[in-house]
Each structure stands twice: as C-alpha cells, then as structure tokens.
Amino acid sequence: MLDISDIADVVAAAVKEATGPLLARIEALETRPPVRGEKGERGDVGPKGERGASGVGVTAAFRDQKGHLLLTMSDGSVCDIGDITGAPGPRGERGDIGPQGERGEKGSQGETFSLDDFDITPLDERTIKMSFEKGDQRHSFELEFPVPVYRGVWREGETYSRGDMVTWAGSTWHCDEKSIAKPGEVAGDWTLAVKAGRPGRDKT
C-alpha cells in the first residue's frame, strides 16, 4: 500500500515535468525586450460634442465708498470682493545716502532790460498796444478795456463793442456783448441804462 507522501511526490514530479517547458517559455518572454509594433491606421473622427453653456465673466470693476472692490458680472450681478488693499505694512528702514552727483555747467546770464525797452501806444478810446523790443527780441499785444464810450444814436448795420453806449427811442443803452442787433431786440446784447422819461406838460 502506497503512503500519502509517496503519492504527493509522484504528483509533484509529474506536474513539474508537465509545466517545465511552459515556465521556461514564460521566463523567456518576460526577459525579452519589448518590440514596438507598427503604427495602426488612424480611426475615424468622432462626432462633435454639444457646446457648453457660456460662463459668467467680469465686465467692470470699481470701488465703493468703503473701499471695497466691486465686480460687475456679465449676467448683471455685482460681486463684492471686499477690501483687497490690506493694512499698510511697517515702514522700512531708511537707506544709505547716495553719492553726490557732479555739478552741472553754469548757465549763461540772461540779458537785462529796462523800462526803455517797453512802449505803450493808444489805438482808440479803450484799446492800448503794449510792445517790448530788446535786440532781436520783439513782442507786442493789445489790451482792450470795456470803458463806456458814447457812440451817439444807434445806426443800423453798425457793429458795437462791449462798453459802447448809444441812444435809441429816447433811452440810453449799454452794449454788453459785440452786436449789430437793435437795443432791446436780442437778450444779453444790450442793457437799458437810462430810460426815456414821459413828455412834460406845457405851461398855461
């Protein structure tokens, strides 16, 4: 009668003999370097997916009275980011004083002038011409003062300047703006200075 251990030895030897070539083949495949195969043909392009919903973006940014940063979104909502400035940090140490720069060249002294270089010429009742001349330098300009000047009875087609005074319809008018309009016809051009009085009575 065979012992159980003898049976196990016989089975083990048979299994080893049967699986030996297979195990050797597996070991050879595992140690062999991989070989890259040929590139296959490109597959067909798949169908295009549906477009996703548009996201919400920022359209404007501003600060409110509290210093908070507010963002206006594309959907009309307002997002409060809060105060992003933060508290000021401590003051840093003062740096070393840099080297003194080189002294620049001395500029040329300008020419002096006196009152003899100025001239004032009256042009009309209210306009004077001030001129300056020094060597090749010449400059002049006119100053007009709106002082009252009586121009007599208002005449149609005449151009009147600010400050002119005329008589019209028995009243005296002051010209406020340059105008050719009849006194009292255009608002802002003339101001009534002296209103005409009522006719007096004859003595009986």
Sole residue written with tokens 């620049």? 104
What digits encode the pLDDT tens for the residues 64-78?
666 676 677 777 777
Contact status, residue 13 vs residue 5, Cβ threshold 8 Å? no
The closest of 170, 150, 172 to 161, measured between CA atoms, is 150
Q: Give me 19's structure tokens.
A: 């699986």
What CA–CA distances, in Å, run from 113 to 17, 70, 110, 135, 165? Answer: 128, 61, 10, 10, 41
Q: What is the pLDDT of residue 106?
A: 65
Mean pLDDT, residues 119-123: 89
Lowest-confidence segment of 12-26, 108-122, 134-148, 185-199 by average pLDDT: 12-26
Q: Is the pLDDT of residue 155 over 90?
A: yes
- Reading phi first (left if > 0) and then psi (alpha if -120 to 50, else beta), residue 157 is in left
Q: Is the pLDDT of residue 5 over 70?
A: no
Identify the residue with better confidence: 47 or 129. Answer: 129
The three-class DSSP label of residue 12 is: helix
Q: Which of 2.40.30.330, 2.60.120.260, 2.10.10.90, 3.40.630.10 is the CATH number of 149-194?
A: 2.10.10.90
Q: Is the pLDDT of residue 13 over 80?
A: no
| Most confident residue range from 43-52, 55-64, 73-82, 187-196 | 187-196
Angstrom distance (rounded) from CA 122 to CA 147: 14
- Does the model's pTM come out above 0.95? no
Residue ranges per domain, the chain? 116-144, 149-194
